[in-house]
Structure formats: structure tokens, C-alpha cells
Chains A and B, each alone.
Chain A
Amino acid sequence: MSELALGQGELWRSLRGRTQARIGLGRAGSALPTRHRLELQAAHAAARDAVHSPFEPDRVAAGLPGLPTVRVRSAAGDRLTYLQRPDLGRRLDATDRAHLPAGEWDVVFVVADGLSSRAVHEHAATVVTETVTRLPGWRIAPVVLAEQARVALGDAVAAAMGAAMVVVLIGERPGMSAADSLGAYLTYRPVPGATTDADRNCLSNIRPPLGLSYEGAAGKLAALMGRARELGATGVGLKDESDALPA
């Protein structure tokens, strides 16, 4: 059937099935109808709240039974500073650095608030737990719960603890249609200040049921970590081949 044979309402319903773009919204004069104006504001509010909700490390720790945790802050003392000074969000608070236990760790997991505490509260503990069960025999450091943190804060954590690699689970920049998306960044032997994004492997959009599942994320992460240990590297040289591996 030609789309032209459809009524106007049916046409837009059909077209909206092909894109998440906010099309066919109609008009009130030149402006948006009330319902669509409020829907946009609701999506924006969810994203804003995700950015500004305070990080609750206790909630994450409660989801990690059997795994010890350590809390640190970045050098960005508050949210306002954090948003304006990415350089400070990459540096550890000097006092907190001293509290990090050094050891012969194969890996340290860092759970960092990033730009969405909501994503971290909802997803991070399960991703850590699921990944750890796939790493038998690994010497796993206490999980570091980091406040006002950027991805590269993990480099400083790994260096301070002597860990061979670091996995940073961090709240991604919220969009209007996804305010709770978690990212995972894997880096082998990071050097603070010298390691760049090209040295990392990234999984993004961990956000079941709409995004990547916990099992999918943990499986990919564990596979990447195993390959990273064999190669002695992460980043552009390490490809995600986990889909080709047996389940």
C-alpha cells in the first residue's frame, strides 16, 4: 500500500516507527503542542538530574558482597568544578591516594560517577560482579569507588596500587533519550599523563534492556582482559573479537 493512501495520522505513526527523531509533532500556532513541549522537558529533566544527582558509593558497595571497596575523590572538589575542569577530574585527591592499598594486582575495577551517577547506581555493581565471576585465578584489587571522576582517573589509581590493568566503569554523558548509559574503559599498564584514549578499549551503552546487557558487557570485558594480558597492551592493537569466542 502506498503511504499516500494512509491517513495523515497513520502516516506519521508509520514514519515515527522509522526514526526516534521527534517528527510530526504538530503545531499550536508556530509552537509545539503542550504535550510535546512537556515531553521534551521531561527528557531534559531526566538528563539533567542524571548529571547532578550525587554519587552514593554506599549503594554501589552494597551491590558488591564479598568484594572490598575503597573510596576516593578526584581533585575536583564539587560538581561545578568537575564540569568546568576536566583536568582536575583526572587527578586523585592527594590524601585519598595514600589510602589506596598497593599490591600485586592483576586488575583494579574503578567505579566512577562521571556524568551520570544514575547509570552507575543502576548498572555498575552488577557489571563488576558478573565480570569477576569470569576471571578465575585473577588477583583482583579492592574495588575503587571514585567521586567527581573522569576516565583517566583510573590511570592514577592503577599506578598508585600497582595494578597491571584498570577497568573504569563510568556514567556516560546523558542524551535526551538515554540518561542512564554506562561506559567501560579497559587500559593495560596506564601511565598517568602519558596514556591516551587510543590506548584504551571501550564498551559503551551498557544499559539493559535497551542497551548492552550485563552478561554481554561482562563477557566482552573478560575476553578483552584476557587478550590484553596475553598481548601486554590495550587500545588500537586490541580488537573486540569476543563475539567470535565460544559462549
Chain B
Amino acid sequence: MSVHTSTLGGERHRFTSLAQLLAAASPERSGDRLAGLAAESARQRVAARWALAEVPLTTFLTEPLIPYESDDVTRLILDTHDAAAFAPVAGMTVGEFREWLLAADGPALTAVAPGLTPEMVAAVSKLMGNADLVAVARKVRVVTAFRSTIGLPGRLATRLQPNHPTDDPAGVAAALLDGLLLGSGDAVIGINPATDSPKAVRDLLDLLDGVIQRYAIPTQSCVLCHVTTSVDLMERGAPVDLVFQSIAGTQAANASFGVTLGLLDEAYEAALKLERGTVGRNVMYFETGQGSALSADAHHGVDQQTVEARAYAVARRYDPLLVNTVVGFIGPEYLYDGRQILRAALEDHFCGKLLGLPMGLDICYTNHADADDDDVATMLTMLGVAGASFVICTPGGDDIMLNYQSASYHDALYLREVLGLRPAPEFEAWLATMGLLDEAGGIREVDAHALTEIAGRELAA
């Protein structure tokens, strides 16, 4: 255990481990306080940052926060570290690394990604302001593809989320129609099913696949079930485009989700074999979010942002099409208010991008958090500027299945309009053939439309 010290205003501060130093250096958030890891004072927080700035990046390779022997995520991080890619920054401290990131160009950031570990990027994020997190993330482009291409410059994709509390096909179809007519769905058409039963998941997969095939929509579907359910369904010939899983940053937290790296390996191989993509072979979809390791009592004394970044090491092993942090979903015991949720969103996006992931966000909050639709607008705007690959959209911003608020299809239209962003190119071309694009490249507000047959078919069924 290394000891780190710094003196601030004549007061001497001492941190007895790297994990304690990282936690104390983290911006204020309720989850770290709940875990007993937060800085004891504002002065101690800044003192921790001074000490953290002096830590060499190589320390993170020699001093694992969670023991190598007992955690497969630690083993994954250290065993796959690319020393050659790391070389340009190998001699730097965390403080010097911050300045290098701010000055570097996009290609340099892409090249160094395999040499970075989650702990390094989490550490440097703690020295960065919100604007720094935007400025650096904006330079990184991670492009992935399945039937549409995600992450190109000047593009913003959306997940269309037509959830229904009983998975009623007509209700889902109605919400699907609503989203498509508002130009949404190029990242994925993704449903959180009300149950994880294979039959229910299969029915929804068939419904989505039917619509995608019938209208030749260049997108992919996903019914967000447990990875073992997907494996089972793939073996039975179900039309699985993307394999979904929630993941976290420690072996024990992943165990609480019922997953192991071995299970993910198996699902990844199975999905690749289906060859359902047309323009690319990225077949995985992961969701993450700060607080999950703490709520599973599996954080090992590591602060919630650092342990979240470790989940991205799990994700990047599988070249996913999409990764999103569900940033305000769990509640105020982890992220108290709009200010904490915004900070976490920017940190997660920055860390994921630096590690080479196609990062998107579910910009969301629950009603017991101190946040509202203005916080969503603020987050959307900053994440749009930061170059997020995609955002999750729900009808009117209100998810009636999961009982939380997220961005709306209208919010995505706003973001594309004010920042001049366009949908994924394949999807944009499809919107044009369907008569849904106006002269300026925006989404036309249509009256009667051929797509309304989607809802008609399900209502008649």
C-alpha cells in the first residue's frame, strides 16, 4: 500500500492507499459518502487532487486497486494492457497526462487507447473540469457498425425505446411508430421487456424483426434480456441482432448480475456466427452506470466512478456496437441531483471514449432525485458537444415501464437541430426514401404515412 501526502494551506493530508486517494479526489457525490469513501472536507478533496497529480501513470499497472488474484476484471485489465500503445505517455504523472490529453489530437488519443487502463482514465478525470471532459472526449471518434454506422463525425444516433409495462404488442407497435415518425431508432430499437421469460422476449424479437425486414430499416433490434436468455434464444433460431448485458467493474458485481467473462465470451461468439449485420460486425450492447457495484456490495473500497470505468474494460473486450451509461437511473443515494448526474455523465462518456468505446448515454433521472427536464436539456447539450455516439429516447421523456424520465424524441430533434447533427448515414438515406426528411435534412412532420401500417397490423392482430 502506497502512502500519498500533500500539504495545502499549511495543513498536511495523508492518504494511506491509492484507492483512498482516488476516492477522496472524486467530486462530491452521495454514493461515495454512503460507502464511507468520500473526502471528509472540501480542503481534503483538493489536497487529494494535488497528491493524485503527482502519481506516475505506471503506478496503476503495479498497484491494482482490487487484487489480481481475486478479481477477473483486474486480470483482464492487466493481462491485455498494450505496452507499445502506452509508450507515449508511460513517463507521465496523472497531472502531466491531463495536459497531454488536452493538447493531443484525435488520432493520438485513438492510438493510445489500448495502453490506457480504467484506473488511469478515472484518475485523470478527477483532475478535469466539466469543460475539459467535453473538450477531450470530443476529439475521440469511435466508429462501429451493424446495419447502421454509429459514431461518425457530425452524427448523433438514437435508441428508440418503445417499452410497455405488459409487453402488449399493440402498445409496443404504437410507440415504435411514434419514434420512427420522429426520426429515431438508428442506434437500435431496444425494448426493456416486462419479464425475462424466453417466450416474451422471443415475441418481441419477432415483432421488431418483422418491422425492420418489412420496411427495410437499416437498424438493429435488441430486447434487453439476460445474456443467458439470448444464448438460449440464438440456439433456437430467434432473430437476435445484438446481445445485451448489464455489466459492472468487479467480478463480484458482475456475479450479482449473473454474468462472468466466460458467459459473455460464449454469447459474443454465438452472435458473431449469426452474421446478421450488413455493414459491420459489432454485435454487443452493454449498459453500465455508477452505483451498481456499491448497491451489490461489491465495490472493494473503490469509489463509484473508478469502479464504473473498470466496467468499460469488460465492454471493450467484445468490440460492442453500443455502450451506454444509464446515468441517473438508480437514484439519489448514488447521484443526488442534476449537478451530480451531469458530472457523472461527462466522466463516464470521457472515460469510455478514451478507452476506445462507442459511448452513448441514457440521460435520465428518477422522481426522488433533485432534477428535472431542464437538467436533461443541459446534459443533452453538453454531451452533444462532447460528441456522444447516441442517446436513449422515450415517448415524451417518460418511460412507463421503468418509471423514470429520460430524453424524448423531441429532445433528440432539438439536439440535431442546434448542433447540426445528422442521423447515421444508412438510416438518414432510409428516412429520405420514406419521405421523412425535409430540404434542410431535418425530420418532416408528416400527416398520414405508410409507416402507420405498423400500428394497424398489430392492432388488427
Q: Please report A residues at the B interface, Cβ cutoff 8 Å.
A: 2-4, 8, 11, 14-16, 18-27, 29-32, 36, 40-41, 43-44, 47-48, 50-51, 83-87, 115, 173-177, 179
Contacts A40-B396, A50-B367 supplied; 5 other A-B pairs, CB < 8 Å = A8-B448, A23-B178, A23-B395, A25-B410, A30-B410
Q: B216 an interface residue at 8 Å Cβ cutoff? A: no
Tell me whether A21 and B162 are in contact (CB under 8 A).
yes
* Residues from chain B with Cβ under 8 Å of A30 in the complex: 410, 413-414, 416-417, 442
Complex Cα distance A83/B34, Å?
A: 11
**Shortest Cβ distance from residue A85 to the other chain B in the assembled complex, whole angstroms:** 6
Contact partners of B414 in chain A: CB under 8 A: 30-31
B130 at the A interface (CB under 8 A): no
CB < 8 Å neighbour of B400 from A19, A25, A115: A19
Per-position 1/0 for B312-355, Cβ under 8 A of A: 00000000000000000001110010000000000000000000
> Contact between B400 and A177 (Cβ–Cβ < 8 Å)?
yes
Q: Point out the residue from A15, A21, A48 that lies within 8 Å of B396, measured CB to CB.
A: A21
CB distance from B382 to the nearest CB of A (A): 18
B396–A32 CB distance below 8 A: yes
What are the residues of chain B within 8 A of A2 when measuring CB–CB? 456, 460
Nearest residue, chain A, Cβ from B174? A15
Contact call B333/A85, Cβ cutoff below 8 A: yes
A66 to chain B, nearest CB (A): 34
Q: Which of B178, B413, B417 has the most CB of A within 10 A?
A: B178
Contact A83 B174 (CB under 8 A): no
Interface residues of B (CB under 8 A from A): 30, 33-34, 162-165, 168, 170-172, 174-175, 177-178, 331-333, 336, 366-369, 372-373, 394-398, 400, 403-405, 408, 410, 413-414, 416-417, 442, 445, 447-448, 452-453, 455-456, 459-460
Query: How distant is A193 from chain B, measured CB to nearest CB, in Å?
Result: 13
- A31 / chain B contacts, CB cutoff of 8 Å: 410, 413-414
A21→B34 contact, CB < 8 A: no
Chain B residues with CB under 8 Å of A11's CB are 452, 455
Q: Which 7 A-B pairs have the closest CB atoms?
A: A22-B396, A3-B456, A19-B171, A175-B403, A30-B413, A47-B367, A23-B178
Q: Could you list some 6 contacts between A and B, CB below 8 A?
A: A20-B400, A21-B171, A27-B410, A44-B373, A51-B368, A174-B368
On whether the beta carbons of B398 and A4 are closer than 8 Å, the reply is no
Q: In the docked arrangement, what's the CA distance between A84 and B453, Å?
A: 47
Q: Are B455 and A15 in contact (CB under 8 A)?
A: yes
Q: Which of A18, A87, A173, A179 contacts B174 (CB 8 A)?
A: A18
A237 to chain B, nearest CB (A): 22
In the bound complex, residues from chain A placing their C-beta under 8 Å from that of B404 are: 175
A176 contacts B333, C-beta separation under 8 Å: no
Task: Check B333 against A22 for contact (C-beta < 8 Å).
Answer: no
A83 in contact with B336 (CB, 8 Å): yes
Of A18, A23, A44, A84, the residue contacting B367 (CB under 8 A) is: A44
Complex Cα spacing A83 to B333, Å: 6
Contact A22 B403 (CB under 8 A): no
> Which B residue's beta carbon lies closest to that of A2?
B456
Q: Residue on B with the closest CB to A26?
A: B445
Q: How far is the CA of A14 from the CA of B456 in the complex (A)?
A: 10
State A16–B373 Cα separation when bound (angstroms).
23
CB-nearest residue of chain A to B176: A23
Q: Which residues of B contact A84 (CB under 8 A)?
A: 30, 33-34, 332-333, 336
Q: How long is the Cα–Cα vector from A51 to B164 in the complex, in angstroms?
A: 25
Residue of B nearest to A45 (CB): B372
The answer to whether B452 and A3 have CB atoms under 8 Å apart is: yes
Supposing A36-B396, A40-B396, A84-B33 touch, asked if A21 and B367 sit within 8 A by C-beta, the answer is: no
CA distance A47 to B403 in the complex (A): 11
CA distance A16 to B400 in the complex (A): 13
Q: Is the CB of A3 within 8 A of B459?
A: yes
- A109 and B333 CA atoms in complex are apart in Å by 27
B381 CB, nearest partner CB in chain A, Å:
13
Q: How far is the CB of A36 from chain B (nearest CB, A)?
A: 7
Query: A47 vs B445: C-alpha distance in the bound complex, in angstroms?
Result: 32
The verdict on A21 contacting B452 (CB below 8 Å), with A8-B447, A27-B445, A84-B30 known, is no
A137 to chain B, nearest CB (A): 40
Shortest Cβ distance from residue A154 to the other chain B in the assembled complex, whole angstroms: 19
Query: A17 → chain B, closest Cβ, in Å?
Result: 9
B residues less than 8 Å from A15 (CB atoms):
170, 174, 177-178, 455, 459
Minimal beta-carbon separation of A37 from chain B (angstroms): 8
Q: A21-B162, A40-B373, A40-B398 are in contact. Are A87 and B178 (CB under 8 A)?
A: no
When chains A and B are docked, how far (Å) is the Cα of A176 from the Cα of B366? 9
Q: How far is the CA of A223 from the CA of B7 in the complex (A)?
A: 64
Q: Which of B171, B178, B398, B416 contacts A24 (CB 8 A)?
A: B178
Residue numbers in B under 8 Å from A87 (CB-CB): 34
CB distance from A95 to the nearest CB of B (A): 24
Q: Is A173 a contact partner of B368 (Cβ separation < 8 A)?
A: yes
Q: Which of A3, A22, A30, A44: most chain B CB closer than 10 A? A: A30
A15-B455, A21-B178, A47-B367 as given contacts; A86 in contact with B34, CB under 8 Å: yes
Contact between chains at B178 and A14 (CB < 8 Å): no
CB pair A32–B395 under 8 Å, yes or no, is: no
Question: Chain A residues near B408 (CB, 8 Å)?
Answer: 32
A23–B174 CB distance below 8 A: yes
Is the Cβ of A83 less than 8 Å from the Cβ of B332? yes
Contacts of B34 in A (CB 8 A): 84-87
Given the complex, which residues of B lie within 8 Å of A27, measured CB to CB?
410, 413, 445
Q: A24-B178, A41-B373 are in contact. Are A51 and B367 (CB under 8 A)?
A: yes
A5 and chain B: residue at smallest CB distance: B456
Residues in chain A near residue B177, CB distance under 8 A: 15, 23
Take A31-B410, A47-B367, A86-B34 as given contacts and tell me if A18 and B171 are in contact as well, using a CB distance cutoff of 8 Å: yes
Q: Do B164 and A21 touch (CB < 8 A)?
A: yes
The answer for the CA separation of A10 and B453 in the assembled complex, in Å, is 14
Q: Give the shortest distance, in Å, between A107 (CB) and chain B (any CB).
A: 29
B304 to chain A, nearest CB (A): 13
Contacts of A23 in B (CB 8 A): 174-175, 177-178, 395-396
Which residue in B367, B395, B445, B452 is a CB contact (below 8 Å) of A175? Answer: B367
Q: Determine the distance from Cα of A11 to Cα of B172 in the docked complex, in whole angstroms.
A: 15
Across the interface, do B460 and A3 meet the contact criterion of CB distance under 8 Å?
yes
State in angstroms the CA–CA spacing of A223 and B336 once bound together. 39
B410 and A173 form a contact (CB under 8 A): no
Residues of chain B with a CB closer than 8 A to A19's CB: 164, 168, 170-172, 174-175, 400
